[in-house]
Amino acid sequence: MNVFSGRNVQFANSNRSSELEDKDEKTGLVLCFGEMLIDFVPTLSGYSLADAPSFKKAPGGAPANVSVAVSRLGGHSAFIGKVGDDEFGHMLKGILVHNGVDSSGVRFDTNARTALAFVTLQDDGERSFMFYRNPSADMLLQESELDTDLLRKASIFHYGSISLIAEPCRSTHLAAMKIAKNSGALLSYDPNLRLPLWPSAEEARKGILSIWNEADIIKVSDDEVQFLTSGEDPDNEDVVRQYLWHPGLKLLLITMGQAGCKYYTKTFHGQVPGFKVSAIDATGAGDAFVGGMLSQLVGDTTLYQDEERLREALRFANACGALTTTERGAIPALPDKDTVLRLINVCEKQMPKVPSWQNISQWRVPSRQPSRELLTDYDDA
């Protein structure tokens, strides 16, 4: 069975040459498109939503997480999306600004609320989600609200699949992809599967694969590989090449939690081991990985052609993901560059025991963390 039978989006390139005049003006911008929301994270792991004693609010949403991750690592990033014209929405835009993300592409909706997600944490830090977004503001972004100048300046345009679920956001997503691609940007895709948001598993599979062939870089988890291939073995290279590779793809990444990641290019493939840390919340770890990778790629857009350079970039990305699991919430846990490099150096010296999350927290640069005023110290919900 060919799992890509549902693909139906192809972009014409007739205008590409005329729009490439913007390419010389690109300044290493990583532009992220999609949802930004509030995660309510339980203060204790191992409890159901009904039994959790309390929750802390944390900013999240995969594309927004990536934009903050890139900025916190010293890169140039921007975000396009829509939030409610409510206290949460204005707080989220403020967090982008505080973290150095260009928020000029953020729009407010006066008729819909900012999306919310309640997170269930297992003892090992893995999680599940329950969403409140029927509809939420992020689903209502119109094509007319796109910042086309920002799209044309992007060196990398990154997006997920949640923005494909409903109109009008789906059409807006496709229009943004087309503008960025025709302006010379690399397209980066992390499906970030959230089954509860889709009408069915089949619709999710079809929707995710509908834009697969347009991406230059794709990141999926090993669980997502199984889902997209209807249960095939994610460790089987033939499965990956047959079902997930497409002729225009430059780099395919498969994340495997603490085991690290696998990489596939047209000419080579391999695996980069991960970092063992004391994980308490895996929320945002994949986004931190993507942000770490894109922060390296945007300054060297051919690194995927050199295996040694690629492996170094992926080791950096693995460290970003690992560090993010050592604190609760997504954006609050994203590391700065100095912290990432310190973890890499410590592990290279073969530290006799795994650093605790408390010790790792001391490495972080305080000025790069969200302010108390913006997050109200994650007051209990």
Phi, psi for 244 (deg, rounded to 5): -110, -25
Q: Which two tokens stand for residue 91?
A: 């707080």
Are 71 and 289 contacting, i.e. CB atoms less than 8 angstroms apart?
Answer: no
Are 160 and 62 contacting, i.e. CB atoms less than 8 angstroms apart?
Answer: yes
- Angle formed at CA 218 by CA 262 and CA 68, multiple of 5 degrees: 100
Among 159, 169, 264, smallest CA distance to 208 is for: 159
Side-chain-side CA neighbours of 379 within 13 Å: the count stands at: 6
Q: Which two tokens stand for residue 366?
A: 């305080």
Q: Is 138 a catalytic residue?
A: no
| Largest Cα–Cα separation, the chain | 58
* Three-state secondary structure call for residue 79: strand
First to last CA, the chain: 47
Task: Name the catalytic one among 287, 300, 306, 336.
Answer: 287
Among 25, 4, 138, smallest CA distance to 83 is for: 138
Are 219 and 255 contacting, i.e. CB atoms less than 8 angstroms apart?
Answer: yes
- Dihedral of CA 298/169/177/256: which sign? positive
Which helix or strand (DSSP H or E) is residue 323 part of? Answer: helix 307-324
Cα–Cα separations (whole angstroms), residue 48 to 53, 124, 330: 10, 14, 20
Task: Supply the DSSP symbol for 185.
Answer: P
Catalytic residues: 287
